[in-house]
């Protein structure tokens, strides 16, 4: 399998679909919300909503426009992801292949005032904290959540803010994403982008034009260098 090795100042991770698999809870939450919004098509939503902020999904698919109601419903939705993820035999919120190993490697990397990795998620801070805990991950020094930006993915704001909080230029960052909207966000921010084939088809991922595509984080090795983080990417061939 061909590989390439690059060095970056910081690694900016997406969360759902990249580090954790919350599919069971997302299915449960949308099924629950179908009771309150009987006109929604859960199957259709699940095929297009990944990587988009909850408030934006509720606005698009449920027609919720009032800002205060949006916030209340977003909280209810993300609480439902956690509460339904293990119901009826569902597998819960779990780590994706290779994710623990990568984060363990990065835990020794410089922290504040010079963090070298961040999580930039479309989830709220409350849900992100709960999901990371359930999947066995520590909270990073830099966590960019939905409420930290006015415009979510595919706009560049989440990754621009992640780079800023790490104190490095975005062009010296590697964004790791599973969702086409997140890849487009990283591209728009000027970062290099590494896409995972964990939630979308290769065609969907390719259409978002990432710099690299791999199966999952088990195809990546990282180590600290004097000036940053060396990333060895084993390029997916399937």
Give, for all 238 residues of the chain, the pLDDT tens digit: 588 999 999 999 999 999 999 888 888 888 899 999 988 888 888 777 776 788 888 998 999 999 999 889 988 998 998 888 888 778 889 999 999 999 998 987 766 668 899 999 988 899 899 999 999 999 999 999 999 999 999 999 999 999 999 999 999 999 999 999 999 999 999 999 999 999 989 999 999 999 999 999 999 999 988 888 999 999 854 4
16 is catalytic: yes
- pTM here? 0.86
219-228 own/partner pairs: CB under 8 Å, 24+ apart = 219/98, 220/98, 220/102, 220/176, 220/194, 221/105, 222/11, 222/102, 222/105, 222/106, 223/105, 224/105, 224/108, 224/109, 224/116, 225/7, 227/7, 227/9, 228/7, 228/8, 228/9, 228/10, 228/116, 228/172
21 is catalytic: no
Give CA angle at 110 (130, 132), nearest 5°: 10
User: What are 41-53's pLDDT values in tens digits?
Assistant: 888 887 777 767 8
Question: Chain centroid to CA 235: how far?
Answer: 20
- Looking at 2-114, which runs of residues are DSSP E strands? 3-8, 10-13, 20-21, 94-95
Domains of the chain: 3-22+93-234 (3.40.50.1000), 23-85 (1.10.150)
Question: Chain centroid to CA 190: how far?
Answer: 17
User: What are 148-198's pLDDT values in tens digits?
Assistant: 999 999 999 999 999 999 999 999 999 999 999 999 999 999 999 999 999
Q: Which of 16, 56, 141, 157 is catalytic?
A: 16
């Amino acid at each position: 399998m061909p590989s390439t090795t690059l060095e970056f100042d910081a690694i900016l991770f997406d969360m759902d679909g990249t580090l954790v698999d919350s599919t069971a809870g997302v299915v449960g939450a949308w099924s629950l919300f179908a009771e309150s919004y009987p006109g929604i098509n859960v199957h259709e939503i699940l095929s297009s909503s990944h990587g988009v902020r909850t408030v934006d999904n509720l606005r698009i698919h449920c027609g919720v426009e009032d800002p205060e109601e949006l916030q209340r419903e977003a909280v209810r939705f993300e609480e439902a992801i956690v509460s339904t993820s293990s119901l009826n035999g569902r597998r819960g919120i779990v780590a994706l292949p290779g994710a623990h190993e990568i984060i363990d490697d990065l835990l020794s990397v410089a922290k504040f005032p010079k963090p070298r990795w961040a999580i930039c998620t479309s989830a709220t801070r409350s849900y992100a904290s709960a999901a990371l805990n359930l999947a066995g991950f520590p909270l990073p020094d830099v966590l960019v959540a939905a409420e930290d930006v006015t415009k979510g993915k595919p706009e560049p704001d989440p990754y621009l803010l992640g780079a800023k909080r790490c104190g490095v230029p975005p062009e010296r960052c590697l964004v790791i994403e599973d969702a086409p909207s997140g890849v487009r966000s990283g591209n728009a921010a000027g970062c290099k982008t590494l896409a995972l084939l964990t939630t979308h088809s290769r065609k969907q991922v390719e259409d978002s034009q990432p710099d690299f595509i791999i199966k999952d984080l088990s195809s990546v090795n990282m180590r600290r260098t004097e000036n940053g983080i060396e990333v060895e990417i084993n390029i997916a061939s399937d």
